[in-house]
C-alpha cells in the first residue's frame, strides 16, 4: 500500500478510536452535572452517589481521551504536513482556542474530583463541574469548526498555492459550522446518556432492583429522548445544508444520480457494478423533502459531477445505518417514557431492559458510521475545492510500521479501559457504597 492509503488508515484509526472517548468526554459531564444538581435540590443521596460514580469512571475515559487527542493533534501535522501548512494559516484560531477550552476542562476536572465533601455548601462543589461541561463542549465546538472548514472552506483567497485575504472569523463560522457543531454536540449528549442508560439497564436486568438504579435509568433515558429528538431535527437541517453546499455528498449517500424533481429517498438495498439499485425501499419525494423541505424541489444528482470527484458510493450504507440507529434510540427511550407515564407496570420489563442495553453499543456504532460517512463523503478532497487528500499527505516513509504500532497501542488501551472500568465498578458496587455512607437500603 502507498503512503497515502496508509496515512488515511492511520488517521482514521486514531480518530475512530479517539471519538469513542471524546464523545463520552463531551456528554458524561452533562449527566454528572444533572445528577449532582438533582441530588442537591431534592436532598437525595442516590443522585449524589450516581454523580460520584459516574465521575470516577469518567476519569479513566478522560485519560485515554486526552492521550489519544494528543496523538491525533500531532498526527495532523505528521501525516498531513502540506494540509496543515494551509489550514494552519486560516484555521489556527479555533485550533488554538480548542486548547484553551481543554485547559479549562483539565483544571476544573482535577479540582472537582478532589473537592467532594470539602465545601460546607454542596452547591459550591457543583459549580466546579460547570467549567468542565463548558470546556468539553467548547473544545468539541472548536474542533468541529476545523472539520467544518475542511468541508466548506471559506474566509480566504487562494491563487497558485498562495493564500491571501484571510478572514479568521469567516473561516470559523463557515456554512457547515452550525449544523456540524449542533449535530456533534447533540449526538454526543445522546450517546453518553444512552451508554449510561445501557449500563444501568444491565444491572436491572441482572436483578438488582434498588431505587438507585431506577432513578439512574429514568434520568438517563429522559436526557436520551430529548437529545434523540434534537439530533433528528438537526440531522434534517444537515440534509438541507448538504443539498445546498455539498450536493455530491448527499447524492452519494442516496445513490441519487439524475438531477430531478420529486426525488425519492433510498433505504437499504445494494448497488450493482453498473450502478443499478437493487432491493431498496424507495420513499417517493422524501429526498426532495429532506433536501429542500418541498416534495417538488429539484435535487442535484451525482451525474452533474465528473466521476473522479465522486465520493465512494458505499457511504450510503453508513448513512442508512446511522439514521436507523437514531430512530431505534428515539423509539426505545420514547417507549420507556411512554410506559412511565401511562403503563408503569411495563416499565421494568426484561425485554425493555434488553432493548436499552442494545442501544448502548449501537449508539457508539452510530457515532462511528456517522463520522466515517461525513469524512469519506468529502473524498477525494481534504479541503473541498482546494486541495485533494493526495496533495496533503506526507512524503515520509515508514507510515506502515507506525500503523501497526499505533493499532497495537489502541488495542491495549481499549482492552485495559474495559478491564479497569469493570473491575472498578464490580469491586465497589452501589450497594456497598450506600451502606458505607450510612444510607439505609
Partner 1 sequence: MSLELLGITVLWIFLYGYMIIGSIDFGAGFFSYYGKLRKKDHLINGVINRYLSPVWEVTNVFLVFFFVGLVGFFPDTAYFYGTVLLIPASIATILLAIRGSFYAFANYGARDNQLFLFSYGVTGLLIPASLSTVLVISEGGFITELGDTISLNMSALLSSPLTWSVALLAVFSVLFISSAFLSYYANKAEDLEAREVLRKIALFSSVPMMISSFVMIFFLQRESAWHFNQLYGYAWTFLLGLLAFLTAIYLLYRKERFGIAFLMVMLQFAFAFFGYGASHLPYLLYPYLTIYDGIVNQTMGTYLVIGFIAGLTLLIPSLILLMRLFLFNVDYVKGNK
State the minimum distance, in angstroms, from the CB of residue 229 to partner 1. 33
State the minimum distance, in angstroms, from the CB of residue 408 to partner 1. 9
Is residue 196 within 8 Å of residue 54, measured between CB atoms? yes
Count Cβ atoms within 10 A of the Cβ of residue 158 and give its class: 0-12 exposed, 13-18 middle, 19 or more buried. Answer: middle
State the minimum distance, in angstroms, from the CB of residue 351 to partner 1. 33
C-beta of 6 vs 289, nearer to partner 1:
6
C-alpha distances in Å from residue 368, one per residue of 22, 153, 176, 374: 12, 24, 19, 10
Measure the CA angle with vertex 143, ends 192 and 379; round to 5°.
Answer: 100
C-beta of 89 vs 259, nearer to partner 1:
89
C-beta of 276 vs 398, nearer to partner 1:
398
State the minimum distance, in angstroms, from the CB of residue 440 to partner 1. 28
Is residue 129 within 8 Å of residue 32, measured between CB atoms? yes
Q: What is the DSSP string of 43-55?
A: T-HHHHHHHHHHH
C-beta of 196 vs 252, nearer to partner 1:
196
State the minimum distance, in angstroms, from the CB of residue 428 to partner 1. 11
Spatial distance between the Cα atoms of 174 and 146, rounded to a whole number of angstroms: 10
State the minimum distance, in angstroms, from the CB of residue 41 to partner 1. 25
| Phi, psi for residue 385 in degrees, rounded to 5 | 90, -15
Spatial distance between the Cα atoms of 383 and 397, rounded to a whole number of angstroms: 23
Q: Which residues of 295-333 are buried (b: 16+ CB within 10 A; e: fewer)?
A: eebebbbbeeeeeeebbeeebbbbbbbbbebbebbbebb
Is residue 36 within 8 Å of residue 421, measured between CB atoms? no
C-beta of 345 vs 395, nearer to partner 1:
395
Q: What 8-state DSSP symbol labels residue 310? A: P
C-beta of 71 vs 201, nearer to partner 1:
71
State the minimum distance, in angstroms, from the CB of residue 47 to partner 1. 22
Please name the helix (run of DSSP H) or strand (run of DSSP E) that holds residue 78, with its range, or none. helix 45-79
C-alpha distances in Å from residue 353, one per residue of 161, 218, 350, 358: 57, 12, 5, 9
State the minimum distance, in angstroms, from the CB of residue 106 to partner 1. 4
State the minimum distance, in angstroms, from the CB of residue 295 to partner 1. 44
C-alpha distances in Å from residue 226, one per residue of 114, 178, 233, 326, 337: 32, 19, 11, 12, 11
For residue 159, list its beta bridge partners: 162
The x, y and z cell numbers of residue 121, run together, are 455548601
C-beta of 163 vs 280, nearer to partner 1:
163
C-beta of 6 vs 195, nearer to partner 1:
6
State the minimum distance, in angstroms, from the CB of residue 59 to partner 1. 5
The x, y and z cell numbers of residue 370, run together, are 456517522
C-beta of 51 vs 217, nearer to partner 1:
51
C-beta of 169 vs 441, nearer to partner 1:
169
Amino acid at each position: 500500500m502507498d503512503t497515502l492509503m496508509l496515512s488515511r488508515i492511520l488517521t482514521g484509526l486514531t480518530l475512530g478510536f479517539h471519538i469513542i472517548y471524546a464523545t463520552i468526554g463531551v456528554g458524561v459531564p452533562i449527566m454528572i452535572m444533572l445528577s449532582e444538581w438533582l441530588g442537591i435540590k431534592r436532598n437525595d443521596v442516590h443522585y449524589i452517589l450516581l454523580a460520584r460514580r459516574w465521575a470516577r469512571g469518567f476519569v479513566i475515559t478522560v485519560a485515554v481521551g486526552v492521550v489519544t487527542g494528543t496523538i491525533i493533534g500531532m498526527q495532523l501535522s505528521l501525516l498531513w504536513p502540506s494540509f496543515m501548512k494551509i489550514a494552519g494559516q486560516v484555521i489556527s484560531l479555533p485550533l488554538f482556542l480548542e486548547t484553551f477550552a481543554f485547559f479549562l476542562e483539565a483544571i476544573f476536572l482535577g479540582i472537582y474530583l478532589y473537592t467532594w465533601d470539602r465545601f460546607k455548601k454542596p452547591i459550591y462543589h457543583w459549580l466546579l463541574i460547570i467549567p468542565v461541561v463548558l470546556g468539553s463542549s467548547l473544545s468539541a465546538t472548536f474542533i468541529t469548526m476545523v472539520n467544518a472548514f475542511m468541508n466548506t472552506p471559506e474566509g480566504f483567497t487562494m491563487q497558485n498555492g498562495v493564500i491571501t485575504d484571510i478572514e479568521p472569523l469567516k473561516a470559523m463560522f463557515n456554512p457547515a459550522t452550525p449544523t456540524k457543531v449542533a449535530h456533534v454536540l447533540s449526538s454526543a449528549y445522546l450517546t453518553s446518556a444512552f451508554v449510561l442508560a445501557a449500563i444501568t439497564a444491565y444491572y436491572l436486568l441482572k436483578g438488582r432492583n434498588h431505587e438507585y438504579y431506577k432513578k439512574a435509568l429514568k434520568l438517563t433515558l429522559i436526557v436520551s429522548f430529548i437529545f434523540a429528538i434534537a439530533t433528528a431535527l438537526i440531522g434534517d437541517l444537515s440534509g438541507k445544508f448538504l443539498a445546498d453546499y455539498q450536493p455530491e455528498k448527499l447524492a452519494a449517500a442516496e445513490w441519487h444520480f439524475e438531477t430531478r424533481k420529486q426525488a425519492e429517498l433510498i433505504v437499504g438495498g445494494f448497488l450493482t457494478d453498473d450502478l443499478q439499485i437493487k432491493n431498496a425501499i424507495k420513499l417517493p419525494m422524501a429526498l426532495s423533502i429532506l433536501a429542500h423541505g418541498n416534495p417538488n424541489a429539484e435535487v442535484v444528482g451525482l451525474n452533474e459531477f465528473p466521476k473522479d470527484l465522486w465520493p465512494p458510493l458505499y457511504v450510503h450504507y453508513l448513512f442508512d445505518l446511522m439514521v436507523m440507529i437514531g430512530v431505534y434510540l428515539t423509539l426505545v427511550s420514547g417507549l420507556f417514557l411512554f410506559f412511565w407515564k401511562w403503563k408503569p407496570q411495563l416499565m421494568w420489563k426484561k425485554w425493555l431492559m434488553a432493548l436499552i442495553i442494545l442501544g448502548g453499543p449501537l449508539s457508539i456504532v452510530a457515532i462511528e458510521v456517522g463520522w466515517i460517512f461525513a469524512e469519506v463523503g468529502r473524498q477525494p478532497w481534504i479541503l473541498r475545492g482546494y486541495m485533494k487528500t493526495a496533495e496533503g499527505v506526507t512524503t515520509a516513509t515508514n507510515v506502515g510500521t507506525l500503523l501497526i504500532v499505533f493499532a497495537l497501542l489502541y488495542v491495549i488501551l481499549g482492552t485495559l479501559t474495559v478491564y479497569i472500568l469493570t473491575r472498578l465498578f464490580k469491586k465497589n458496587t452501589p450497594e456497598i457504597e450506600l451502606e458505607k455512607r450510612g444510607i439505609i437500603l
